[in-house]
């Protein structure tokens, strides 16, 4: 594989760099001195974010792969990869359409594309995911939320959990069981529903890092039009699997990891709290993290090379997802070790945070990344996918 940009790719990269130089507000760069438990973890927001989004919309770079008629830029997979790389290098906020949009692009009807895609690009709709249930997490196909056909509607009853951002969303995409007699991977339908539909209610779940992004979502006789089913009725498992392949591709995360390591290195080199110069082990551990960042880059490049050939990564996406999320945990552990006892200190409103390195960023990262290997499918599930679909091993 040639890792260098082709002349055309180099020209596009320069276009992206010049666009950032002209349009990106520096106040939106992630600020490591702000407690990451606060929303956004960025210096700026408000008008600056609106202007930045407007500039991206004008370029079609909110949904760069989509056709221009839906607000995209019809970029090639490699051009998207370059755009994601440069975005991560700048520490810019990720402004993109939700993965449900790409799923609708693959499986949705023409009417659904026209109805749902343009508002996503303009930022007029916020989506959340209704997959996991209290008894159906890793074994998602065992989900029990029912949707019964009643004329032109489905009537939904059941519960979802870990619904990220449900308290902010105005739409939800959900997997529901529409044929209870079918084998568990059949009889499932992928439905879209407005969050203000009567019968939908949410309850927040507070995480151990004090974040409040997760929720429980309840459905009580919720009526959703049949026309809101994406793909074939009773074949929604395969639609949902497409969504997860987009979610697990991890493109661009490797650059973000490298940036995080750079911020950590700069901090520990300049603070007496650090153990970096005291013993060799932490320095060698930090060096290992840099090597692993390059491995993460190779996983991302493998995924993008497949997409460039018109393929949807499957077990390759699972490899990238499992490695990237476990790597984020190793970065957090290394950071807290490098900072010694200070690595476990977090700032809050009752404390000025003077003893909390970088506003307690690393202690919070340590707590936050615990769930990284669960969200989007556990590492155990990813390894099963890799074993069966990648290595051809028999199912246990």
Residues forming the active site: 247
Separation between Cα atoms, residue 75 and residue 271, nearest integer Å: 43
Contact 146, 180 (CB under 8 A): yes
> Taking the mean position of all CA atoms in its chain, how far away is CA 200?
24
Residue 218 class from Cβ within 10 Å (0-12 exposed, 13-18 middle, 19+ buried)?
Answer: middle
| Other Cβ atoms closer than 10 A to 259 | 16
Cβ neighbourhood burial of 25 (10 Å; 0-12, 13-18, 19+): middle
The rounded distance, in Å, linking the Cα atoms of 209 and 354 is: 19
Contacts of 15 (CB under 8 A, 6+ apart): none
Chain centroid to Cα 47, Å, comes to 24
DSSP 241-279: HHHHHHHTT-TTHHHHHHHHHHHHHHHHHT-TT--TTT-
């Amino acid at each position: 594989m040639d890792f260098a940009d082709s002349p055309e790719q180099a020209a596009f990269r320069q276009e992206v760099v010049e666009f950032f130089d002209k349009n990106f507000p520096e106040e939106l760069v992630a600020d490591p001195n702000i407690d990451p438990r606060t929303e956004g973890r960025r210096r700026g927001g408000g008008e600056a974010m609106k202007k930045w989004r407007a500039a991206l919309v004008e370029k079609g770079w909110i949904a760069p792969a989509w056709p221009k008629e839906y607000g995209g830029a019809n970029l090639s997979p490699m051009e998207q990869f370059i755009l994601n790389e440069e975005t991560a290098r700048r520490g810019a906020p990720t402004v993109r359409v939700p993965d449900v949009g790409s799923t609708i692009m693959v499986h949705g009807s023409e009417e659904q594309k026209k109805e749902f895609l343009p508002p996503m690009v303009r930022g007029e709709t916020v989506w959340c995911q209704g997959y996991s249930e209290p008894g159906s997490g890793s074994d998602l196909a065992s989900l029990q939320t029912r949707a019964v056909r009643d004329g032109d509607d489905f009537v939904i009853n059941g519960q979802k959990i870990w619904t990220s951002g449900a308290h902010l969303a105005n739409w939800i995409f959900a997997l529901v069981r529409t044929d209870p007699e079918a084998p568990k991977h059949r009889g499932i339908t992928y439905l879209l529903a407005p969050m203000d539909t009567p019968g939908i209610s949410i309850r927040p779940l507070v995480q151990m890092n004090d974040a409040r992004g997760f929720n429980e979502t309840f459905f009580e006789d919720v009526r959703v039009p049949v026309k809101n089913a994406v793909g074939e009725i009773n074949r929604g498992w395969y639609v949902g699997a497409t969504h997860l392949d987009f979610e697990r591709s991890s493109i661009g995360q490797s650059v973000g990891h490298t940036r995080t390591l750079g911020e950590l290195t700069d901090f520990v080199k300049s603070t007496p709290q650090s153990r970096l110069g005291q013993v060799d082990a932490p320095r060698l551990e930090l060096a290992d993290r840099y090597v692993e960042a390059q491995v993460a880059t190779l996983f991302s490049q493998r995924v993008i090379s497949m997409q460039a050939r018109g393929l949807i990564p499957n077990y390759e996406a699972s490899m990238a997802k499992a490695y990237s999320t476990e790597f984020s945990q190793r970065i957090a552990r290394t950071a807290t070790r490098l900072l010694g006892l200070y690595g476990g200190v977090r700032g809050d409103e009752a404390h000025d945070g003077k003893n909390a390195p970088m506003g307690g960023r690393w202690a919070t990262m340590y707590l936050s990344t615990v769930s990284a290997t669960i969200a989007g499918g556990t590492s155990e599930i990813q390894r099963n996918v890799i074993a069966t679909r990648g290595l051809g091993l028999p199912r246990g």
